[in-house]
Amino acid sequence: MRLKVLVDLPRHSPLDPLLDYLAPEAWPAGTLVRVPLGRREVCGIVWGPGDEPASPDGEGGAVVLREIAQALDALPPLGEAWRRLAAFAATYYQRSLGEVALGALPPDLRELDATQLVRRLRRGDKLDREAAKAAQAASAEAPPLPEPSDEQREALVQLAAMPPGPVLLFGATGSGKTEVYLREAARVLAAGGQVLVLVPEINLTPQLEARLATRFPGRRLVSLHSGLTPAQRLQGWLAAHRGRADLVLGTRMAIFASLPRLGLIVVDEEHDPSYKQQEGARYSARDLAVWRGRAEGVPVLLGSATPSLESWHNALPAAEGGAGRYRRLDMPARIGGGALPRVRTVDLARIAAQFGKRAVYSQPLAPPLLEAMRERLARGEQSLVLLNRRGYAPVLHCTSCGWKSDCAHCSAWRVFHRSDRTLRCHHCGFSERVPFACPSCGDPDLQPMGRGTERLEEQIAELLPGARIGRIDADTTRHKGSLESQLAQVHDGEIDVLVGTQMVAKGHDFRRMTLVAAVQADAALFSSDFRAPERLFALLMQAGGRAGRDAELAGRSEIWLQTWHAAHPLYAALRRHDYPAFAAAQLLERESAAMPPYAFQALLRAEARSQQAACDFLETVSAATLDWPEAAEVLIFPPVPAPIQRVADVERAQMLLEASSRQALHRLLARWQPVLSQAAARTGEARVLRWALDVDPLAI
Number of other residues whose CB lies within 10 A of the CB of residue 453: 24
Q: Is 364 in the site for ligand ADP (CB under 6 A)?
A: no
Does residue 171 bind ligand ADP (CB under 6 A)?
yes
Report yes or no: 204 and 212 within 8 Å, Cβ to Cβ: no
CB of 394 to Zn ion, least distance (A): 13
Residue 179 near ligand ADP by CB under 6 A: yes
Shortest Cβ 169–ligand ADP spacing (Å)? 8
> Is residue 197 close enough to count as binding ligand ADP by CB under 6 A?
no
Residue 174 binds ligand ADP (CB under 6 A): yes
Q: Check if the beta carbon of residue 259 is closer than 8 Å to that of residue 209.
A: no
Q: Does 546 bind ligand ADP (CB under 6 A)?
A: no
Q: Which is nearer to Zn ion, 568 or 605 (CB)?
A: 605
- Other CB atoms within 10 Å distance of the CB of residue 39: 5
Q: Residues binding ligand ADP: what is the number (CB under 6 A)?
A: 14
Query: Looking at beta carbons only, is 424 or 508 nearer to Zn ion?
Result: 424
Cβ 477 to ligand ADP, closest distance in Å? 23
Q: Does 193 bind ligand ADP (CB under 6 A)?
A: no
Task: Annotate 368-431 with DSSP letters as a single string.
Answer: HHHHHHHHHHHHT-EEEEE-S--SSBSEEEETTT--B-B-SSSSSBPEEETTTTEEE-TTT--E
Torsion sign (Cα): 215, 220, 225, 231: positive
Choose the contact partner of 177 out of Zn ion, ligand ADP, none; CB within 5 to 8 A by kind. ligand ADP
- In angstroms, rounded to a whole number, what is the distance separating the alpha carbons of residues 260 and 265? 13
177 or 426: whose CB is closer to ligand ADP? 177
> CA-CA distance, 519 to 539, in Å (whole number)?
13
**Paired residues of 328 in beta bridges:** 168
Question: What DSSP line would sit under 24-55, residue for residue?
Answer: SS-PPTT-EEEEEETTEEEEEEEEEE-PPPPP
Q: Is the previous residue joined to 597 through a cis bond, with omega within 30 degrees of 0?
A: yes
Residue 347 to residue 345: CA distance in whole angstroms? 6
Give the count of beta carbons closer than 10 Å to the beta carbon of residue 520.
17
Find the binder of ligand ADP among 176, 293, 307, 341 (CB under 6 A): 176
507 binds ligand ADP (CB under 6 A): no
Collapsed DSSP state (helix, strand, coil) of residue 343: strand
Q: Which of 31, 94, 96, 175 binds ligand ADP (CB under 6 A)?
A: 175
Query: Quick one: DSSP state of residue 644?
Result: E
CB of 214 to ligand ADP, least distance (A): 11
Instruction: Give me the least distance between CB of 286 and ligand ADP, in Å please.
Output: 17
Can you give the binding site for Zn ion, defined by CB under 5 A? Answer: 398, 401, 403, 407, 409-410, 425, 427-428, 430, 438, 440-441, 443
Q: With H, G, I as helix, E, B as strand and everything else as coil, classify residue 444.
A: coil
By Cβ distance, which residue is nearest to ligand ADP?
178
Q: How far apart are CA 173 and CA 541, in angstroms?
A: 8
User: 125-160 burial, b if ≥16 CB within 10 A, otherwise e?
Assistant: eebbeebeeebeeeeeeeeeeeebbebbeebbeebe
Q: Is 304 in the site for ligand ADP (CB under 6 A)?
A: no
407 binds, among Zn ion, ligand ADP, none (CB under 5 to 8 A by kind): Zn ion
Determine which residue in the list 109, 335, 570, 676 makes contact with ligand ADP, applying CB under 6 A: 335
CB of 487 to ligand ADP, least distance (A): 16
Pick 124 or 174: Cβ nearer ligand ADP: 174
Residue with Cβ nearer Zn ion (253 or 647): 647
Using rule CB under 6 A, residue 153 touches ligand ADP: no
Shortest reach from residue 647's CB to Zn ion, in Å: 6
User: Quick check: helix, strand or coil at residue 607?
Assistant: strand
Contact 400, 407 (CB under 8 A): no
Q: Is 194 in the site for ligand ADP (CB under 6 A)?
A: no
Smallest distance, Zn ion to C-beta of residue 390, A: 15
- Could you tell me the smallest distance in angstroms from the CB atom of residue 153 to ligand ADP? 9
Look at residue 176 and give the partner it binds from Zn ion, ligand ADP, none, a contact being a CB closer than 5 to 8 Å depending on partner kind: ligand ADP
Shortest Å distance, C-beta 653 to Zn ion? 18
> In the set 146, 297, 439, 638, which binds ligand ADP (CB under 6 A)?
146
With CB under 6 A as the contact rule, the residue among 31, 94, 96, 173 that binds ligand ADP is 173
The C-alpha torsion from 241 through 247 and 253 to 257, rounded to 10°, is: 20
Spatial CA neighbour of 655 closest among 689, 623, 687? 623
List the single partner that 149 binds among Zn ion, ligand ADP, none, CB under 5 to 8 Å by kind.
ligand ADP
Identified binder of ligand ADP from the candidate list 31, 94, 96, 152, rule CB under 6 A = 152
Q: Which is nearer to ligand ADP, 171 or 250 (CB)?
A: 171
Q: Rule CB under 6 A: is residue 448 a binding residue for ligand ADP?
A: no
* Least Å from the CB of residue 208 to ligand ADP: 9
Q: List the one residue from 177, 183, 282, 646 that touches ligand ADP (CB under 6 A).
A: 177
Task: Name 415's Cβ contacts closer than 8 Å, sequence gap at least 6.
Answer: 390, 391, 392, 393, 394, 395, 405, 423, 424, 425, 426, 452
Stretch that binds ligand ADP, among 56-64, 147-155, 526-534, 557-565 (CB under 6 A): 147-155
Are the C-beta atoms of 596 and 310 separated by less than 8 Å? yes
Alpha-carbon torsion angle 475, 478, 483, 489, nearest 10:
-60
Say whether residue 151 binds ligand ADP (CB under 6 A): no
The single residue among 31, 94, 96, 149 that binds ligand ADP, judged by CB under 6 A, is 149
Choosing among ligand ADP, Zn ion, none, which partner's interface includes residue 441 (Cβ < 5 to 8 Å by kind)?
A: Zn ion
Q: Residue 656: beta bridge partners?
A: 603
Strand, helix or coil for residue 23: coil
Q: How far is the CB of 444 from Zn ion (least distance, A)?
A: 9
- Around 605, how many Cα atoms within 13 Å sit in the side-chain half-sphere? 21
Q: Which does 410 bind (CB under 5 to 8 A by kind): ligand ADP, Zn ion, none?
A: Zn ion
Residue 152 CB, nearest distance to ligand ADP (Å)?
6
CA angle 268, 487, 233 (to 5 degrees): 55
* Of 115-123, 172-180, 394-402, 484-492: span binding ligand ADP (CB under 6 A): 172-180
Q: Which residues contribute to the site for ligand ADP (CB under 6 A)?
A: 146-149, 152, 171, 173-179, 335
